[in-house]
Chains A and B, each alone.
Chain A
Amino acid sequence: MGDMFRSEKMALCQLFIQPEAAYASIAELGEKGCVQFRDLNEEVSAFQRKYVNEVRRCDDMERRLRYVESEMKKDEVKLPVLRPEEEPIAPNPREIVDLEAQLEKTDNELREMSANGASLDANFRHMQELKYVLENTEGFFSDQEVINLDVNRKLDPEDPANLPGAAQRGQLAFVAGVIKLERFFSFERMLWRISRGNIFLRRADIDGLVADEETGRPVLKTVFVAFFQGEQLKQRIKKVCTGYHAAVYPCPSSHAERKEMIKDVNVRLEDLKLVLSQSADHRSRVLNSASKHLPRWSIMVRKMKAIYHILNFFNPDVTGKCLIGEGWVPTNDISTVQDALARASKISESSIPAFMNVIETNEMPPTYTRTNKFTNGFQNLVDSYGMASYREVNPALYACITFPFLFAVMFGDLGHGLILLLFASWLIIKEKQLSSIKEEIFNIFFGGRYIIFLMGIFSIYTGFIYNDVFSKSMNIFGSAWHMNYTRDVVEDENLKYITLRPNDTVYKTYPFGMDPIWQLADNKIIFLNTFKMKLSIIVGVIHMIFGVSMSVVNFAYYKKYASIFLEFLPQVLFLLLLFGYMVFMMFFKWVVYNDTVEGPLSPACAPSILILFINMILQGSQDTPEPCKEFMFDGQKSIQQVFVVVAIICIPWMLLGKPLYIMIKRKTNGAPPPKPQSGGGEGHGEDDEMGEIFIHQAIHTIEYVLSTVSHTASYLRLWALSLAHAQLSEVLWNMVFSMGFKYDSYIGGILIYVFFGAWALLTVGILVLIEGLSAFLHTLRLHWVEFMSKFYEGAGYAFEPFAFKTILDVSEDD
């Protein structure tokens, strides 16, 4: 059997590699992605492994790369996106030294520039604040001129009347600085307290935002000047300024000196601007130069680190001349691995080629199913439920069709299916462009684009069968029903409804799909419900029989032939004799009962299959009026009794068959008389195991019998969701879009446009997206629980090969 029917054969391989060729060998295997290495040094801690120093060097390089990348993000330098063909291979050890030196140089250069830049920025800020102080205090001092604040101004000896006051006022001192606006008010209150009100404080806000020295965030700041008397008060004020992180700046009291200082500060600011600009240019050049190489460097370092990580799994040979590694390899890929090893030996010019042995083992191999972009989505659905046991039958193969088909049975509408098809086609046609999008929800849709594509196609098909296009029908082949009433009857005002009878002799079944007349009928739901319920049970029972049959394939493969007779046979008999028989009754009723005859086969006498089935199980009966008969055909009662008896026999058959077989088999194998001591122990173990086996089989049997009943009922969701979907679609049409048809002239045209927009939005939003998701989840449950529980063990673990592609994808997600 070919693709996907069961997981790949896996071989446990032992690799013998020369140490000098080891790096290149693992590099080649990483590109291929065919080997899942086993850690042969689990008991060795990470710090005691052979290549711990190399891993540390890679960590160091990664740290430098992250630093450079963060600096690029700060400066908004764009990194080029590597195309897959541009991706570099793992560097060889000689290239590693060069790469390390290059990274170190770039890293150091950037760090130095950052430190210098920070220093220059701080200087720049200080100069700016000083400038603000000098400019804003000009007003303060001009105001104070009249009180003769300037201590340098000589007193006029000719005016003796002012001498005492002038002398006293001349002793006023001041402190000028910059403080955050948010702190100014508490700062002001503190100054008042320490000086007991003997202080004069003036303030001027700095326009715009200034970068805060501590956090770098923009803040509002204000210039202040405090006038006071006495040296002691000056010391206190300076302490308060320090406590409030206010920057105090020297400020000459004379106007001329201030002018001179402002000029000097401006010159220095211009110089600093020039230096800052040149530094920024240089930094930009360095970052742009590094950005050309950074993606390649990142990939190279990651590959390097991954290689050394794998090499740490290896064991040195006792002679120290080669490294021994073990790993799982798909059998079909053994030649690929051998070719990779040969190529690596050639590259590293190793004298002795690496080689690989296949080891026999009883361990269960990992499960690996080879998929392509089409089957990958379906395989993911199955793996979400449980990873298949090794070489177990893979339900994903059949889910490729049964999944979209069951979805379509629920979702069936030609218009909605077309929407799904168009959306999926867009995803598939734009596959290459869209595959680079990293948004999570979009990726879920994109990963399932082939599932959506098939769901769309099958929904179109079931839309044809249901004859449902946005809740409207198409009349392609001509309705089977004829208007055999006269005009008088049709025009009779007293009649509200006219019911056509199927006993028309010219009635011919509508050949493909549902007759369009039912869309116009008021008893549409009654008719469609009987059809869809039967359809659900028919599809469901066949699906379950198919699932139970899969267990034969598993039993045959694992050579558990006894289970075919002891487990599969009673299971399938139970299912067929009860529910398969129910399906038969459905088809029989469709064929035999009709409206063209009188008597037992007329519609009035058609029995309810559900009641028949219940009476079959419970050995009940019901009275039927003449000329009707209780049973569909002669001898049905006897047949049903036989079926029920056999089905009941199947239950202990499932329950006891396998444990008894195992018990007998063990007794046969245990025929030689054991020693008394070991005999006792053996008996004890055997008793426990037999008890466990009986309990396990009892649970399994109960689960199967009960689940056969409940799963059959569970498939009725196919009818329920189909009904809900069709009715919602009809409600949208009747209550939204039809509203636009009720008006005339130009207003009518405008309203149709408006209502169509609303109807279209609701159709896509509710019927396609929400109803589609609902149908999807129900389909998923029908596969996981109703179908796969019949045969699927799902006790395996996934094959996770050492592959650079996987490692790089994971790194990108981080």
Chain B
Amino acid sequence: MGAAFFPVLFFTALWGGVGIAMPIMTPKGPHQNLIRCILMLTAACCWLFWLCCYMAQMNPLIGPKLKRDVVAMIGRSWNNPIVAG
């Protein structure tokens, strides 16, 4: 289980803020309801999209298949050293 609480809470709070708090704070005007609808839909769509991508990688069933030189490059460049020995 690779999931962690912090990212889930962070992004849920972020899009929750966009989709719940910001509509509440929308100033009154001729387009108030339009803006609210746009904010809520944006938050719902973006949160769902992020969630699906996150959940798809929580418990991956397959791992990446890499060429040896790619592994070496990743080991050097991504602060992901190869185990010595």
Cross-chain contact A465 with B82 (CB below 8 angstroms): no
Cross-chain contact B71 with A509 (CB below 8 angstroms): no
Cross-chain contact B78 with A496 (CB below 8 angstroms): no
Shortest CB-to-CB span from B65 to chain A, Å, is 4
A485→B10 CA distance, assembly (Å): 33
A68→B37 CA distance, assembly (Å): 53
A402→B43 CA distance, assembly (Å): 11
Query: Is A461's beta carbon under 8 Å from chain B?
Result: yes
Which residues of chain A are within 8 angstroms of B57 by Cβ–Cβ distance? 480, 509-510, 514-515
Shortest CB-to-CB span from B64 to chain A, Å, is 3
A490 contacts which of B52, B55, B72 (Cβ < 8 Å)?
B72
Cross-chain contact B81 with A509 (CB below 8 angstroms): no
Contact digits for A1-23, partner B, Cβ 8 Å, 1 yes 0 no: 11111000000000000000000
Which residues of chain B are within 8 angstroms of A256 by Cβ–Cβ distance? none
Cross-chain contact B68 with A523 (CB below 8 angstroms): no
A492→B57 CA distance, assembly (Å): 29
Contacts A3-B31, A486-B84, A507-B2 given; indicate if A475 touches B78 (C-beta within 8 A).
yes
Contacts A478-B78, A510-B57 given; indicate if A527 touches B62 (C-beta within 8 A).
yes
Cross-chain contact B82 with A490 (CB below 8 angstroms): yes
Query: Is A520's beta carbon under 8 Å from chain B?
Result: yes
Cross-chain contact B54 with A518 (CB below 8 angstroms): no
A511→B51 CA distance, assembly (Å): 10
Cross-chain contact B2 with A499 (CB below 8 angstroms): no
Contacts A465-B49, A509-B2, A531-B53 given; indicate if A521 touches B80 (C-beta within 8 A).
no
Contact digits for A559-598, partner B, Cβ 8 Å, 1 yes 0 no: 0000000000000000000000000000100111111100
Contacts A401-B41, A497-B65, A502-B60 given; indicate if A508 touches B4 (C-beta within 8 A).
yes
Which residues of chain B are within 8 angstroms of A534 by Cβ–Cβ distance? 52, 56
Cross-chain contact B41 with A497 (CB below 8 angstroms): no
B33 contacts which of A5, A490, A514 (Cβ < 8 Å)?
A5
Shortest CB-to-CB span from B73 to chain A, Å, is 8
Shortest CB-to-CB span from B33 to chain A, Å, is 3
A594 contacts which of B7, B30, B50, B59 (Cβ < 8 Å)?
B59
Cross-chain contact B64 with A480 (CB below 8 angstroms): no
Output the nearest chain B residue to A480 by Cβ-Cβ distance: B2
Give the segment of A102-110, A535-543, A615-623, A775-783 that binds chain B. A535-543
Which residues of chain B are within 8 angstroms of A45 by Cβ–Cβ distance? none
Output the nearest chain A residue to B61 by Cβ-Cβ distance: A603
A521→B31 CA distance, assembly (Å): 47
Cross-chain contact A481 with B38 (CB below 8 angstroms): no
Contacts A510-B57, A513-B53, A591-B55 given; indicate if A498 touches B84 (C-beta within 8 A).
no
Query: Is A445's beta carbon under 8 Å from chain B?
Result: no
A475→B11 CA distance, assembly (Å): 19
Query: Is B34's beta carbon under 8 Å from chain A?
Result: yes
Query: Is A606's beta carbon under 8 Å from chain B?
Result: yes
A502→B60 CA distance, assembly (Å): 6
Cross-chain contact B64 with A595 (CB below 8 angstroms): no
Output the nearest chain B residue to A521 by Cβ-Cβ distance: B64
Query: Is A495's beta carbon under 8 Å from chain B?
Result: yes
Contacts A514-B53, A538-B52, A593-B59 given; indicate if A487 touches B34 (C-beta within 8 A).
no
B38 contacts which of A400, A483, A596 (Cβ < 8 Å)?
A400
Cross-chain contact B58 with A509 (CB below 8 angstroms): yes
A481→B64 CA distance, assembly (Å): 9
Shortest CB-to-CB span from A504 to chain B, Å, is 9
Query: Is B3's beta carbon under 8 Å from chain A?
Result: yes
Which residues of chain B are within 8 angstroms of A436 by Cβ–Cβ distance? none
Which residues of chain A are within 8 angstroms of B30 by Cβ–Cβ distance? 3
Cross-chain contact A502 with B59 (CB below 8 angstroms): yes
Categorize the interface residue count of chain B.
35 or more
Shortest CB-to-CB span from B53 to chain A, Å, is 5
Query: Is A397's beta carbon under 8 Å from chain B?
Result: yes
A592→B57 CA distance, assembly (Å): 12
Output the nearest chain A residue to B85 by Cβ-Cβ distance: A486
A502 contacts which of B32, B61, B85 (Cβ < 8 Å)?
B61
Query: Is A190's beta carbon under 8 Å from chain B?
Result: no
Shortest CB-to-CB span from A478 to chain B, Å, is 7
A685→B36 CA distance, assembly (Å): 49
Cross-chain contact B31 with A509 (CB below 8 angstroms): no
Cross-chain contact A522 with B55 (CB below 8 angstroms): no
Cross-chain contact B33 with A1 (CB below 8 angstroms): yes
Query: Is A482's beta carbon under 8 Å from chain B?
Result: yes
Shortest CB-to-CB span from A191 to chain B, Å, is 85
Which residues of chain B are within 8 angstroms of A596 by Cβ–Cβ distance? 1, 59
Cross-chain contact A521 with B52 (CB below 8 angstroms): no
Cross-chain contact B64 with A511 (CB below 8 angstroms): no
A181→B50 CA distance, assembly (Å): 80
Contacts A398-B41, A509-B7, A511-B54 given; indicate if A517 touches B83 (C-beta within 8 A).
no
Which residues of chain A are within 8 angstroms of B45 by Cβ–Cβ distance? 401-402, 405
Output the nearest chain B residue to A499 by Cβ-Cβ distance: B65
Output the nearest chain A residue to B32 by Cβ-Cβ distance: A2
Query: Is B66's beta carbon under 8 Å from chain A?
Result: yes
A591→B66 CA distance, assembly (Å): 26
Which residues of chain A are within 8 angstroms of B42 by Cβ–Cβ distance? 401, 405
Which residues of chain B are within 8 angstroms of A375 by Cβ–Cβ distance? 34
Cross-chain contact A590 with B74 (CB below 8 angstroms): no
Cross-chain contact A606 with B85 (CB below 8 angstroms): no
Output the nearest chain B residue to A372 by Cβ-Cβ distance: B31
A401 contacts which of B6, B38, B75 (Cβ < 8 Å)?
B38
Output the nearest chain A residue to B63 by Cβ-Cβ distance: A500
A513→B53 CA distance, assembly (Å): 6
Shortest CB-to-CB span from B66 to chain A, Å, is 5
Query: Is A409's beta carbon under 8 Å from chain B?
Result: yes
Shortest CB-to-CB span from A788 to chain B, Å, is 16
Cross-chain contact B2 with A478 (CB below 8 angstroms): no
Shortest CB-to-CB span from A628 to chain B, Å, is 13
Which residues of chain B are within 8 angstroms of A5 by Cβ–Cβ distance? 33
Which residues of chain B are within 8 angstroms of A497 by Cβ–Cβ distance? 65-68
Query: Is A484's beta carbon under 8 Å from chain B?
Result: yes
Query: Is A512's beta carbon under 8 Å from chain B?
Result: yes
Which residues of chain B are within 8 angstroms of A461 by Cβ–Cβ distance? 46, 49
Which residues of chain B are within 8 angstroms of A502 by Cβ–Cβ distance? 2, 59-63
Which residues of chain A are within 8 angstroms of B72 by Cβ–Cβ distance? 490
Shortest CB-to-CB span from A218 to chain B, Å, is 62
Contacts A496-B68, A498-B68, A500-B66 given; indicate if A486 touches B82 (C-beta within 8 A).
yes
Shortest CB-to-CB span from A118 to chain B, Å, is 60
A526→B85 CA distance, assembly (Å): 32
Instruction: Scan residues 444-497 of chain A and give those whose CB is less than 8 A from a CB of chain B.
Output: 461-462, 465-466, 475, 478-488, 490-492, 495-497
Which residues of chain B are within 8 angstroms of A273 by Cβ–Cβ distance? none
Query: Is A255's beta carbon under 8 Å from chain B?
Result: no
Shortest CB-to-CB span from B72 to chain A, Å, is 6
Which residues of chain B are within 8 angstroms of A535 by Cβ–Cβ distance? 49, 52-53, 56
A499→B56 CA distance, assembly (Å): 19
Query: Is B25's beta carbon under 8 Å from chain A?
Result: no
List, sorted by A's number, 25 A–B pairs whose CB atoms are closer than 8 Å. A5-B33, A397-B34, A400-B37, A400-B41, A401-B37, A402-B41, A402-B45, A479-B78, A485-B82, A486-B85, A487-B82, A490-B71, A491-B68, A500-B63, A509-B54, A509-B58, A514-B53, A520-B74, A534-B56, A535-B52, A538-B52, A539-B49, A542-B48, A591-B55, A592-B59
- CB-CB nearest 7 A-B residue pairs: A2-B33, A594-B59, A521-B64, A511-B7, A401-B41, A603-B61, A509-B2
> CB within 8 Å of A: which residues of B?
1-4, 6-7, 10-11, 30-34, 37-38, 41-42, 45-46, 48-50, 52-68, 70-72, 74-75, 78-85
Q: List 12 additional contacts besides A397-B34, A398-B37, A596-B59; criterion CB under 8 Å.
A: A465-B49, A465-B53, A483-B71, A486-B85, A496-B67, A508-B4, A512-B7, A513-B53, A521-B64, A524-B64, A539-B48, A603-B61
